[in-house]
A and B are shown apart, each in its own frame.
Chain A
């Protein structure tokens, strides 16, 4: 642990977190852009779905399995959803990095606080909140 701290230092960890956030957003936008172009080429001429009535998306857009399955079969809309997943993962990953940073500083109180925040988010991801 101490070796890491000497190499990185506090300030550098913060900068690393900042870079990670930007990389996440840029990656997500690139995926969304590619998927979007692909989607427009495939279905651009079709008429717009009726968004004024809420139906809710199906499993292909709302679950890891559905999205990855769609990406594997080359479907543009699932590719866009993959970009959405990367975007959602970006701030969550940032908390992981902060947790690491506080652990390196041996700041127990903040390791606890950060774990709590991470726990709440993971709970909302996997806690069966899909009603």
Chain B
């Protein structure tokens, strides 16, 4: 195969990954790594490098729309980024000492968990009593809904911060945005309404990914020959996905894709256990 054909196939594959990532809400990066390793037989370290780029592109590209709507809680995002960036740098360091097969198995587990997270029941209730820390850190806020501005308060800030630390480590170790864990921390632990947690998580993914990507770039994980088709493909796919979401009801699609992704994740775990990476 020559470089031209490889690049075009990779571009198409990245487009599909971006599209699925956007329709399922999983993000392009998580789907990209199995695609690159299982289909293209690329070493998982190269796959992690370009997947981080895809996460940054996705997150930054989508943030504009969310900020405009005023849903994103910027203070909360910034506060939690202390945990995610510190975790991401730690994770990127940990990656040196972690065997690639272990990384593949972990990724499979996180993938299944993420798929399960996207189809679970969402927390929409806005809490009216917050924890002490939420006042101290000025994290309580409000967001616009069709029926007017709704104010919400945060519970268990320390617990959420702890989960974010884990999300950061996984993000640095596996090269993914780990959006599902971020939403879990905000949604289930801090009891933030779903819309706020999703948009704030997206806002944070770019910064978290950049914190570990600068380490990976210097370590030689990011190959230009793969970087350009992947970044362009994922961005294109995510853009199409965002457009499609306004026309179609993604609920059924989401369940089908999540089931498919679970199979892919099982294959990653299986191959990892058999030392195929």
Interface residues of A (CB under 8 A from B): 11, 14-15, 17-19, 21-22, 24-25, 28-29, 32-33, 35-36, 39-40, 43-49, 51-58, 61-63, 77-78, 80-81, 83-84, 87-88, 90-92, 94-95, 98, 107, 109-110, 113-114, 116-117, 120-121, 123-125, 129-131
Contacts and interface: CB of A to CB of B under 8 A. Distances in A.
Contact of A47 (B3, B45, B56): B3
Nearest to A14: B67
A91 B56 contact: yes
Tell me the interface secondary structure of chain A in the complex.
helix
B78 A124 contact: no
B211 A44 contact: no
A18 B207 CA distance: 14
Contacts of B210: 88, 90-92, 121
A57 B206 contact: no
Interface in B126-162: 137-138
A28 B234 CA distance: 13
Contacts of B235: 25, 29
Contact of A94 (B206, B213, B218, B220): B206
Contact of A98 (B74, B223, B227, B232): B74
Contacts of A46: 2-3
A25 B61 contact: yes
B55 to A, nearest CB: 10
B89 A129 contact: yes
Nearest to B137: A109
Contacts of A125: 214
A35 B228 contact: yes
B155 to A, nearest CB: 20
A28 B235 CA distance: 11
B242 interface: no
Contacts of A91: 56, 59-60, 206-207, 209-210
B43 A130 contact: no
Given A32-B232, A62-B219, A95-B81, 4 more contacts: A25-B61, A77-B225, A120-B89, A120-B211
16 contacts: A21-B206, A28-B231, A39-B3, A40-B3, A44-B3, A48-B3, A51-B46, A57-B221, A61-B220, A78-B224, A81-B227, A94-B206, A98-B74, A116-B82, A117-B82, A117-B207
Interface secondary structure of B, over-half rule: helix
A11 B61 CA distance: 19
B63 A48 contact: no
B63 A18 contact: yes
B77 to A, nearest CB: 9
B266 interface: no
Contacts of B85: 117, 120-121, 124
A51 B223 contact: yes
Nearest to A51: B42
A32 B231 contact: yes
B12 interface: no
Nearest to B75: A110
Nearest to A130: B218
> Which of B43, B56, B60: most chain A Cβ within 10 A?
B60
B169 to A, nearest CB: 13
Contacts of A44: 2-4, 7
Contacts of A98: 74, 78
B1 A29 contact: no
A84 B138 CA distance: 35
